[in-house]
Amino acid sequence: MKRIVVLISGRGSTMEAIVQRCAAEAWPAHVVAVVSNRGDAKGLKFAVAHGLPTAVVAHEQYGSREAFDTALATTIDHFEPDVVVLAGFMRILGVPFVSRYEHRLMNIHPSLLPAFAGLHTHRRALEAGCKLAGATVHFVTPELDHGPIVMQAAVPVLASDDEATLAARVLEVEHQIYPQAVRWFVEDRLRIEKGIVRHVDGAEQGRA
Ligand code: GAR
């Protein structure tokens, strides 16, 4: 059984989707811990209610990013993960941290990368007049919101959209693609070749 550690900073709805799909579909994996950089992250309540171990590494208690990253890694490693899943984890992680979990650190970002790395993705998509928006699951590399793409989903941008309505439409597909991507990982169906993610059995996105 593979061991999944999920990192959150807030609501935790993508973490919930992963926990629920992992159980419902009997993946060869367990979510062994939910770790947050904020003690008040709402998602921690869901984790506790579902009997999952939780931990908080409060970033403001550390004097530098390096010190925070080191404490975070120590906490994560206690749970001996095969994969570390960033699910709305809103801290930038330094190179030593990212290197430590190379090829087993995944993130979801609410845009069709490489467009709109960084914050305020929905506002920026609206301001750019995009007709499609979406989300991307990728392996984390030191460059912010870059790295080999595992899965993407696109949704239409409607003329009537504001940031909130677009974010809600994108979040719906995030809840589909992130569990699927993590499932592929724990089933050993992903390989990274020259920065491109391949499925070992040729499965394509949307066809499990
Ligand atoms: C999601 O939309 C996720 O893509 C985004 O935060 C939200 C978390 O929601 N992540 C980022 O912006 C990371 N750069 P959740 O807390 O309900 O899972």
- The CATH number given to whatever domain includes residue 131 is 3.40.50.170
* Digit-coded pLDDT (tens) for 41-50: 999 999 999 9
User: pTM of the full predicted structure?
Assistant: 0.97
| Distance in Å, CA 167 to ligand 1 centroid | 10
Q: What confidence tier does 201 reach under pLDDT thresholds 50, 70, 90?
A: confident
Residue of 59, 109, 138, 175 marked catalytic: 109
Q: Do 181 and 195 reside in the same domain of the chain?
A: yes
Q: Do 69 and 121 reside in the same domain of the chain?
A: no
* Digit-coded pLDDT (tens) for 150-188: 999 999 999 999 999 999 999 999 999 999 999 999 999
30 tagged catalytic:
no
Q: What confidence tier does 206 reach under pLDDT thresholds 50, 70, 90?
A: low
Both tokens assigned to 168? 């809600």
Last-in-domain residue among 83, 101, 119: 101
88 lines ligand 1 (CB under 6 A): yes
pLDDT surpassing 70 at residue 202: yes
Q: Do 93 and 166 reside in the same domain of the chain?
A: no
- How many structural domains does the chain have? 2
Q: Do 9 and 35 reside in the same domain of the chain?
A: yes
Q: At what angle do helices 13-24 and 163-186 cross, to 10 degrees?
A: 40
Average pLDDT, the chain: 96
109 lines ligand 1 (CB under 6 A): yes
DSSP state of 138: E
174 lines ligand 1 (CB under 6 A): yes
Distance CA 66, CA 72 (A): 10
Domain coverage including residue 141 = 107-208
pLDDT surpassing 70 at residue 1: yes
Q: Do 18 and 89 reside in the same domain of the chain?
A: yes
Non-local (6+) Cβ contacts of 6 within 8 A are 15, 18, 19, 31, 33, 34, 35, 84, 85, 87
Closest ligand 1 atom, residue 89 Cα: 13
Q: Residue 208: its pLDDT value, please?
A: 43
Q: Residue 63: its pLDDT value, please?
A: 95
pLDDT cut 90: percent of the chain above it: 96
Q: Do 113 and 96 reside in the same domain of the chain?
A: no
Q: Do 66 and 124 reside in the same domain of the chain?
A: no
